[in-house]
Amino acid sequence: MNDTLSVSNSTLALGFVLVIVALVIGYKEKLGIDKDIIIGVVRAIIQLSVVGYVLKYIIKVNNLWLTLAFFVIIILNASYNAGKRGNGIPHAFEYSLLAIFVSTSVTLGTLIWTGSIQCIPQQVVTVTGMIASNTMVAIGLSFRNMKQTFTDRQQHVLEKLALGADVKLASLDILRESIKSGMQPTIDSIKTLGLVSLPGMMSGLIFAGVDPEKAIKYQIMVTFMLLSATSIGSIVSCYLAYKEFFNKKKQLKMDLLS
């Protein structure tokens, strides 16, 4: 690692002034987010510290079962958080779990198969975290959009059902918009890569002293990876979840839209 990159405990503590800036803004503007900021920062410090020590051990041991166990933990946590954003959609956790597992497995498997990454803890665990976290966000956005759009367009859906359409046909435009909403942030970020944003993967490698040309190649790979993961996660979760808005008689569940 580059010797110029050094973050000691003292410099990290001094860096807390950046958190104070956010706290001051929240207090001055009466945003009511001071407590959330403090809790979020404390949780982040504890969680990252614990994960850092665990990862250090896993990487050192280089055990397949430990790597798989960490893979499962990441998937479960991502699924739980995505499910919480389901806005009352039944079985949101189960659908998120399947969608995140499929998207992560397919994307990670492809990267290993093509030789883009090696099947070692140092790469598998970190890449799994990136894939699962982005898929989690995409699914959360898809669920929110689906619930809101079903609520806004319930009359249109009822009219289609009355005209003989099945639940899939009656929901098709909502499905498409929900899938698109999950993928859109990734697509938007791709458009500004290199011009507006220098992503974390690329910046981190450059900070560590890696040649920028190599860092760019890794970032392009990550871009392909996240686009694949969010698209798979969005489509799987949406096609599983939309049926929950209908009962066995193919009628809209009005209580779910209230």
- Per-residue model confidence as pLDDT tens digits over 76-129: 999 999 988 887 888 999 999 999 999 999 999 999 998 888 888 888 888 899
pLDDT at 248: 86
pLDDT at 174: 92
Tell me the pLDDT band of 191, cut-offs 50, 70 and 90: confident
With a pLDDT cut of 70, the percent of the chain lying above it is: 92
Tokens 């979020």 sit at which residue? 40
Q: For residue 1, is pLDDT > 80? A: no
**pTM exceeds 0.75:** yes
Stronger pLDDT, 249 or 143, i.e. the higher one:
143
Q: For residue 198, is pLDDT > 70? A: no
pLDDT at 145: 92
- 62 residue type, one letter: N
Q: 68-77, 99-108, 160-169, 205-214: which range is least confident on average? A: 205-214
- At 116-138, the pLDDT tens digits run 888 888 888 888 999 999 999 99
pLDDT at 5: 53
Q: For residue 167, is pLDDT > 50? A: yes
* CA-closest candidate to residue 186, choices 242, 238, 130: 130
**Which DSSP letter does residue 256 get?**
G
Tell me the pLDDT band of 181, cut-offs 50, 70 and 90: very high
Q: Mean per-residue pLDDT for 139-158?
A: 91
- 250 residue type, one letter: K
Q: 6-10, 63-67, 163-167, 211-215: which range is least confident on average? A: 6-10
**Secondary structure of residue 209 in the 3-state scheme:** coil
Burial of 96 (0-12, 13-18, 19+ CB in 10 A): buried
pLDDT at 201: 67
| Contact predicate 23/36, CB 8 Å | no
Tell me the pLDDT band of 196, cut-offs 50, 70 and 90: low
| Contact predicate 204/79, CB 8 Å | no
Q: Mean per-residue pLDDT for 185-207?
A: 74
With a pLDDT cut of 90, the percent of the chain lying above it is: 36
Stronger pLDDT, 206 or 26, i.e. the higher one:
26
6 CB neighbour count, 10 Å cutoff:
8
Residue ranges per domain, the chain? 8-61, 63-256
Q: Mean per-residue pLDDT for 201-225?
A: 77
Mean residue pLDDT across the chain? 86
- 252 residue type, one letter: L
